[in-house]
Amino acid sequence: MSPETASTTYRRNHLFLLLLIGFISVVSSDELESLLNLKTALGESNTKVFDSWRPDNSVCNFTGITCDDSGSSVKEIDLSNQNLTGSIPFDSICQLQSLEKLSFGFNRLHGSVTEDLNKCSRLTYLDLGNNIFSGPIPDISSMNGLLYLYVNSSGFSGTFPWSSLENMTSLIVLSVGDNPFDQTPFPMQVLKLLNLNWLYMANCSIGGEIPAGIGDLTELIDFELSTNYITGEIPKEISKLVKLWQLELFANNLTGKLPVGLRNLTKLQRFDASTNYLEGDLSEIRFLTQLTSLQLFENKFTGEIPPELGEFKHLVNLSLYRNQLTGTLPPQLGSWSDFNFIDVSENFLTGQIPPDMCKNGKMTELLILQNNFTGEIPASYSDCKTLTRFRVSNNMLSGVVPSGIWGLPKAEIIDIATNDLEGGITSNIENAKTLAQIFAAHNRLSGELPQEISMATSLNMIDLSHNQISGKIPATIGELSQLSSLHLDNNKFTGEIPKSLRSCGSLSDINMAYNSFSGQIPAALGSLPTLNSLNLSYNQLSGQIPSTLSSLRLSILDLSDNKLAGPIPESLSVDAYNGSFAGNPGLCSQKVSYFRQCSPSSSDTSGVIRTVITCFSVGSAVILIFLAYSCYLKKKSQNDDEARSLKEDSWNIKSFHVLSFMEDDILDAINEQNLIGKGGSGQVYRASLKNGVELAVKHIRNSDSGHRKRKHSGKQKSLEFDAEVETLSSIRHVNVVKLYCSITSEESSLLVYEYLPNGSLWDRLHTSKKLGLDWETRYGIAVGAAKGLEYLHHGCERPVIHRDVKSSNILLDEYFKPRIADFGLAKIVQTDSTDGSTHVIAGTHGYIAPEYGYTYKVNEKSDVYSFGVVLMELVTGKKPMEAEFGENKDIVFWVCSKLKNKETVLSLVDSSIPEVYKEDTIKVLKIAIMCTSRLPALRPTMRTVVKMLEDAEPCKLLNIIITKDDDGKKKTDKILS
């Protein structure tokens, strides 16, 4: 049914129903009308709940309706969780004189709620929670009999009407959290609500301190104030809340110690004060024997973990990571209950791993990374079939790894790296069907890799480097089709590198350095489509370098210190791979000067001179321009024999005269009036063709034109330029600017691009052409630009490193969809810059990755850095360099200096971005921070950046139902995975 016919039908039905109203007698016709009004208002809902709402049925028999005892008046409307959409007609509903309960929770109701709501003055129960309303909650002060009030996660904004609560002293449940309210100090009205059992005020912008008066709310069972801006100490009066079952204070700015008296909360089962600035010891916890979940991670707690924790009979979750705790874990810990989860990583804990945490067979995660634990891995964990993550890296564990650990059937990560562990990877691994990652580097593992490793088919990362593993790599390794990273370096492997690796189609990173591999490098490695890093250095490999490696898009290639011989394949003889071949006295090269020259017979002749002029994906107009301009160029290069001979192929134009006005078009365009941009690499003009097509033409003057003595290098440049342009011409991506055509001569080069009317992101963020770009647009630009770069890095035949990613190289089309522009140009121009001419800048100040400072070996990760800077511009609205950052300080420094607490972080966000989006912007800022890690290896790939950005999609109000992170696990995963 089309929406139109649907609504007509509704209207007709409605009319029909109204006609029938007169015949209904059980309940007053007013009540029926109110309900039918409601049905109409929510008529678009995809629900069956209204099927019974027919005039021929009794109102008291409507689904979701309860009448009072006399059966004559509607007392309750409960339409929660019915997939309702629409806005509620409170004016009509509040006419139901006996209405006491109104429950609309867990729907998709929208619109603003009018003052009419206050007419429902007899309500004892009001639930509007988990919807997508907008605007503020109106005054509800008439509802003095209210017992239950739920408006959590409903999209309401503005100021909550706290003063309405003044006389609502019967209130038992007050649930207002997870709404983007304006920031407010702790509302004192709440302290009068002495009957409150349940107070949910998490994530709704409450600041200031927790008042001492909280101690008056002695009926509280649940008190949740997490994810706010609370400062100061936890007041000692909290100890009066002796009925508390759950206390949630995480993600605030609390300081000081756990108050003396907290011990009185003996009924407390769940306590979460993680991610604050709390200090002191945990001695108050000793008495909280009923605890099931204790989450105090990311604080500044010191001292020992109370031994009493080992006696807690119900404890199932313990998360204390990132504190400064010392001492040991109680040996009995987790042995009583269905213990599930421990994360005490990043403390200074010593002693042994408690052996019985999986006694009841329920444990899923054992995380004790980065402490000083000693002793062996208890054999009991071999049988812990429920474990998904076993992470004990960076400790001082010793002894043999129990063989069953390798075969844990649910394990996803086994991380034992950087200990003093012995033993080998055992054939039990055949049972590890879900195992994705093994981190075992820096131990003393020995023995051979078992063939059965091939049966752990989920493996995508294997890091066994810096051990003493020997023997051959089993050929079955080829069956690991998910494998993307294989680090076996610094072991005692022998034998050949298995050809079967070719079948690991996801491999992107191979490091087998410092072993005793021999034989030839398998040519099959060249067919790994995503291989990005290959390190086979310091082995005994012999024979020639397979030419198949030329087809790889490697950012790291290290074959040094082997016994390789013969010619280095031409395409690998480039600057980026300098040093990749050292220590192989048998190698020779035509191009790399510090190698012996190959004898003529072995020289690679692939470097055939190609045409100087290329054009691609040509619309007819572009062909015309190209031909016309070629002609123009030809005139200018009469005396260049070579160029002339090269152009002869393309020079069979039939009708030159028809084209002559096109020549005017393009040449006319290259004048001051049409100048639309000036960059390090040349000037950009806008060309409006007579047929209405608009193009951007970039004019680059070659610096060494006329330098006869350097003619040879000029030719080299021309070839490289040509090759580069050819690569770029094959790029087809919506987020990369289209290059229609390139034309070069000895004097200058001309690049013809699509024209983008909205200029550059830089202009729109920072100049007089500044627009108030809203967050969703900025987010769209971030994702689009990331996809463009992802394509350049991972989607092309050869990776294209942009080397000058910046907001002025991100252009915007009429819909503000971004295009990466000027790719590779810096590089092209740079090869021509040996005379030190000033227009050559590899990258732009403020965007340049730190590694540029000490190495010319830039790879994709340098682009990732620059992109991180662009993300920071989008979030903060600041330029990469601003005076306010301090002398010589850039945006990356500035952002990092503000990561102290939530307030300072939020202060980074562009003030023009509305409050609702702040959380979303922070997600993007986090990605920006990762992208700008100092060490290239720590930066994500653009592929990962795209994924992360997509996960950070702004919660439109529709998605605002925030799922509470209820035991901190997810947080842990994020930090430690």
> What residue ranges bind ligand NAG (CB under 6 A)?
46, 52, 57-58, 61, 83, 141, 163-164, 166-167
**CB closer to ligand NAG, 167 vs 468:** 167
Least spacing, CB of residue 108 vs ligand NAG, in Å? 7
Least spacing, CB of residue 167 vs ligand NAG, in Å? 4
Least spacing, CB of residue 432 vs ligand NAG, in Å? 37
Handedness of CA 766, 772, 778, 784 (dihedral sign): negative
Least spacing, CB of residue 82 vs ligand NAG, in Å? 9
Instruction: Specify the residue for token string 């959409």.
Output: 85
- 198 strand-pairing partners: 173, 222
Least spacing, CB of residue 121 vs ligand NAG, in Å? 11
852: tokens are 């540029």
**CB closer to ligand NAG, 130 vs 573:** 130
Residues 570 and 591: beta-carbon distance below 8 Å: yes
**CB closer to ligand NAG, 61 vs 904:** 61
- 338 annotated active-site: no
Residues 361 and 409: beta-carbon distance below 8 Å: no
**CB closer to ligand NAG, 58 vs 255:** 58
Q: Which amino acid is at 745?
A: S
Least spacing, CB of residue 214 vs ligand NAG, in Å? 21
Which helix H or strand E contains 279, and what residues bound it?
strand 279-280
Secondary structure in 3-state letters for 514-577: CCCCEEECCHHHHHCCCCCEEECCCCEEEECCCHHHHHCCCCEEECCCCEEEEECCHHHCCHHH
418: tokens are 């950087």
Strand, coil or helix: 156: coil
**CB closer to ligand NAG, 163 vs 977:** 163
Q: Give the separation between CA 337 and CA 334, rounded to whole angstroms.
A: 6
**CB closer to ligand NAG, 42 vs 368:** 42
**CB closer to ligand NAG, 57 vs 458:** 57
**Torsion angle, CA of 773/774/777/782, rounded to 10 degrees?**
80
Q: Give the separation between CA 26 and CA 626, rounded to whole angstroms.
A: 85
Residues 500 and 480: beta-carbon distance below 8 Å: no
Specify the pairing of strand 222-224 against strand 198-200.
Answer: parallel
Least spacing, CB of residue 740 vs ligand NAG, in Å? 44
Least spacing, CB of residue 156 vs ligand NAG, in Å? 19
**CB closer to ligand NAG, 163 vs 617:** 163
- 200 strand-pairing partners: 175, 224
- 413 strand-pairing partners: 389, 437
Instruction: Specify the residue for token string 């107070």.
Output: 199
Residues 858 and 801: beta-carbon distance below 8 Å: yes
Return the DSSP state at 448: B
Handedness of CA 464, 466, 471, 473 (dihedral sign): positive
14: tokens are 């409605």
Least spacing, CB of residue 163 vs ligand NAG, in Å? 5
**CB closer to ligand NAG, 27 vs 928:** 27
329: tokens are 């874990």
Number of helical H runs and strand E runs in the chain: 16, 45
Least spacing, CB of residue 57 vs ligand NAG, in Å? 5
Q: How far is CA 752 from the centre of its chain?
A: 35
**CB closer to ligand NAG, 46 vs 652:** 46
Among residues 272, 343, 489, 804, which one is catalytic?
804
Least spacing, CB of residue 955 vs ligand NAG, in Å? 19
> Residue 593: what are its φ and ψ, rounded to 5°?
-70, -30
Q: Give the separation between CA 687 and CA 696, rounded to whole angstroms.
A: 6
Q: Give the separation between CA 547 and CA 570, rounded to whole angstroms.
A: 9
**Torsion angle, CA of 157/162/167/173, rounded to 10 degrees?**
60
Q: Which amino acid is at 262?
A: L
631: tokens are 């002609």
> Residue 810: what are its φ and ψ, rounded to 5°?
-110, 110
- 340 strand-pairing partners: none
Least spacing, CB of residue 149 vs ligand NAG, in Å? 14
**CB closer to ligand NAG, 94 vs 441:** 94
Q: Give the separation between CA 117 and CA 101, rounded to whole angstroms.
A: 13
Q: Give the separation between CA 976 and CA 388, rounded to whole angstroms.
A: 14
Q: Which of 826, 804, 778, 824 is nearest to 928 (CA)?
A: 778
Residues 452 and 475: beta-carbon distance below 8 Å: no
Q: Give the separation between CA 213 and CA 210, rounded to whole angstroms.
A: 8
**CB closer to ligand NAG, 10 vs 245:** 10
**CB closer to ligand NAG, 58 vs 944:** 58
How many beta carbons lie within 10 A of that of residue 925, not counting itself? 24
Q: Residue ranges of the alpha helices (H) in 75-126?
A: 90-93
- 317 strand-pairing partners: 293, 341
- 669 strand-pairing partners: none
Least spacing, CB of residue 120 vs ligand NAG, in Å? 15
Query: Which residue's beta carbon is nearest to the bound ligand NAG?
Result: 46
∠ CA 962-965-970 to the nearest 5 degrees?
120
Tell me the catalytic residues.
Answer: 804
